[in-house]
Chains A and B, each alone.
Chain A
Amino acid sequence: MELKTLIGRAKRGLREELRLYLVAITSLSVAFLCVAGALLALTNLSALAERWGQSARMTVYLRDGAQAADVAQLRVVLESLPEVREVEELSSEDARALFLQHAEVSADLAALPPEVFPPSLELSLASGIAPARVDAMAARVAQLRAVEDVETYRGWFDRLDSLLSAGRGLAGVLALLVGLCVLAVIGNTIRLAVARRRDEIEVLKLCGATDAFVRGPFVVEGTFQGFAAAVLAVLVLLVGFMTLRSELDASLAALTGIRAAFLQPWMLIALVLGGALIGAAGSALSLRRYLTV
């Protein structure tokens, strides 16, 4: 088929059904915006998880009244472990000061005595250590004499991890739903366009047009709708992101230590191509049902 002719016919179709298609594109872009928004949230959440996972820490709480010699020996043992990068000693006073500095607490809490905060050794672990190894090490350290308890913060990571995988699953379901919705909307729009161009289709067939020739422009038009809706959604999201970015950075960076990031290029391409593909599929399916040639 002459590509120029095909594009020309599709352009004419787009012009003729402009209002119908604009309505479809706008409503579809809202659907795409949901997916793009979910992707954005996921992107930043996984950046957070990665950041936290890298800065692996462990806190070794010391027994009440542990001897300074025992603590010093414990420190030597810990520093000799290959997993440990750095050991920092935190007295009750230090811990209290740190807590009061970070948490905006009321005067009641500020009145807490230092004894409430047990002394501890704060360990920075070497990066890239498997969680199982951290667990094993924690178990060994807990056996040592001056040690009251060991906190690996694994619970937090696990929680974040499960949050993340739940988010991924949710986004997947959302993407599927949006995909189906887009498929249906574009299919319906094309069906309307077919009905409105009955006379044209009849003429084409009487002149000896093949099925592919009759259907070609409709598929192009459906593809364009999916593509345009996805692009519109990405643009809206980008504008929203840009305007909120400074505020996001201010609060998020302070809270979590990462800067807000936009969707990665491959995600943008996947969104736009996916939109176009779903548009093509929607119109092709609709033509199979409603354009008996």
Chain B
Amino acid sequence: MARDGKVVRPFAFFRAGAQSDSRANRPILAFEDVYKYFRKDQPTLRGVNLVIERGEFCFVTGPSGAGKSTLLQLVYRKHTVDAGRILFAGRDVARLTSGSIPFLRRNLGIVFQDFKVVKHWTVFENVAVALEILDMPPRLVRARVAEALERVGLAGRGDDRTESLSGGEQQRVAIARAIVTEPALILADEPTGNLDPHLAIDILTLFEEIHATGTTVLFATHDHSLIGQRDHRIIALDDGRVLEARTGLRSWPGAADTRPADVRPSVADARPHEGSGLRVVAGSSRSGSSRTG
């Protein structure tokens, strides 16, 4: 976690308090037996147990409808869990009052498939908004936005209208907005879904560069080619359950034809029973230590 400590995070709401020392050693994100029902009879997530250590880079993958987006949405409280807990820096996200949800989100950087940039704003305005929310004085905002734009490769483009940018560039604007506040955790929900394959690699590389400065990244995608090129931890979801695999596509849940028959039972194995909330801790801490150690 030493690398994590170097990053200046002046707005780390969750860092506050007397227990900050013990919090620093906690996993940044933990799912404990999380259930989410959009329909009574059919849970979208059924008993998800996961631990994400600080400084990890994780792919979240799985077939369409597996619940990848839902998993991320529960973290930033677009939705609330129906059972179980999600701990962000040791705090139960589900128990935040609606008044403190903004403060949760200020510690997250969120990137979407459809960019969610304001098209008629300038590039600068789209990035600056994240800092204005924090009541940062305009002079400081200008400096930090310029820095963030440089990091995503858009130096000097601040005055351009965002709609005049290409898709890949617009996604970079969104990424600049997500990182300009230096959040501890970045949630990316299929950020490359609308982009060409070579652009997708560029964006993935950008996320890896951000990760290299100590930021934890959760990167949801169902793009096999992206996952296959990198050696990151993979959190595979299928039918609302977690199937963990360290690397590669060997146990890809959707790829039934390429998957050895003996993998299927392991999906059932990954399903946690009562009280064994942190079954996947071993796997995750292994990858976590390999990344930060």
Contact A2–B116 (Cβ < 8 Å): no
B144 at the interface (CB under 8 A from A): no
Question: B37-45, B63-71, B132-140: which lies at the A interface?
Answer: B132-140
Question: A57-65, A91-99, A200-208, A225-233: which lies at the B interface?
Answer: A200-208
Q: What's the nearest-Cβ distance from chain B to residue A30, in Å? A: 31
CA distance A205 to B119 in the complex (A): 17
Give the residue among B107, B110, B118, B119 with the most A Cβ atoms within 10 A. B118
Contact B105–A2 (Cβ < 8 Å): no
Contact B118–A207 (Cβ < 8 Å): no
Partner of B129, one of A16, A207, A210: A207
- Residues of chain A contacted by B108 (CB below 8 angstroms): 208
Q: What's the nearest-Cβ distance from chain B to residue A14, in Å? A: 14
Contact B103–A208 (Cβ < 8 Å): yes
Partner of A4, one of B130, B133, B138, B177: B138
Interface of A is mostly: helix
Nearest residue (CB) in A for B119 is A199
Nearest residue (CB) in A for B137 is A2
Q: What's the nearest-Cβ distance from chain A to residue B161, in Å? A: 13
Partner of B135, one of A2, A199, A204: A2
- Residues of chain B contacted by A80 (CB below 8 angstroms): none
Contact A16–B116 (Cβ < 8 Å): no
CA distance A2 to B102 in the complex (A): 17
CA distance A206 to B187 in the complex (A): 11
Contact A208–B117 (Cβ < 8 Å): no
Chain A, interface residues (CB within 8 Å), range: 10 to 19
CA distance A205 to B107 in the complex (A): 13
Contact A206–B132 (Cβ < 8 Å): no
B41-63 Cβ-contact flags toward A at 8 Å (1 or 0): 00000000000000000000000
CA distance A194 to B121 in the complex (A): 16
Contact A203–B104 (Cβ < 8 Å): no
CA distance A1 to B129 in the complex (A): 13
B136-176 Cβ-contact flags toward A at 8 Å (1 or 0): 11100000000000000000000000000000000000000
CA distance A51 to B157 in the complex (A): 71
CA distance A93 to B116 in the complex (A): 94
**8 A Cβ contacts from A12-38 to B:** 12, 16
- Residues of chain B contacted by A207 (CB below 8 angstroms): 105-106, 129-130, 133, 177, 181
Q: What's the nearest-Cβ distance from chain B to residue A286, in Å? A: 20
A188-213 Cβ-contact flags toward B at 8 Å (1 or 0): 00000000000110111111111001
- Residues of chain A contacted by B104 (CB below 8 angstroms): 208
Given A16-B120, A199-B118, do A208 and B138 touch, yes or no (CB 8 Å)? no
B78-90 Cβ-contact flags toward A at 8 Å (1 or 0): 0000000000000
Contact A5–B118 (Cβ < 8 Å): no
Nearest residue (CB) in A for B138 is A4
Partner of A5, one of B102, B105, B135, B181: B135
- Residues of chain A contacted by B125 (CB below 8 angstroms): 12
- Residues of chain B contacted by A1 (CB below 8 angstroms): 135
Given contacts A2-B136, A209-B102, 13 further A-B contacts (CB under 8 A): A2-B135, A2-B138, A202-B116, A203-B118, A206-B76, A207-B106, A207-B129, A208-B103, A208-B108, A208-B134, A210-B99, A210-B102, A213-B133
B residues sitting closer than 8 Å to A (CB atoms) are 76, 99, 102-108, 110, 116-121, 125-126, 129-130, 132-138, 177, 181
A residues sitting closer than 8 Å to B (CB atoms) are 1-2, 4-5, 9, 12, 16, 199-200, 202-210, 213
In the A-B complex, the 10 residue pairs with the smallest Cβ-Cβ separation, listed nearest first, are A208-B105, A208-B106, A208-B102, A207-B130, A209-B133, A5-B132, A210-B102, A200-B118, A2-B135, A207-B133
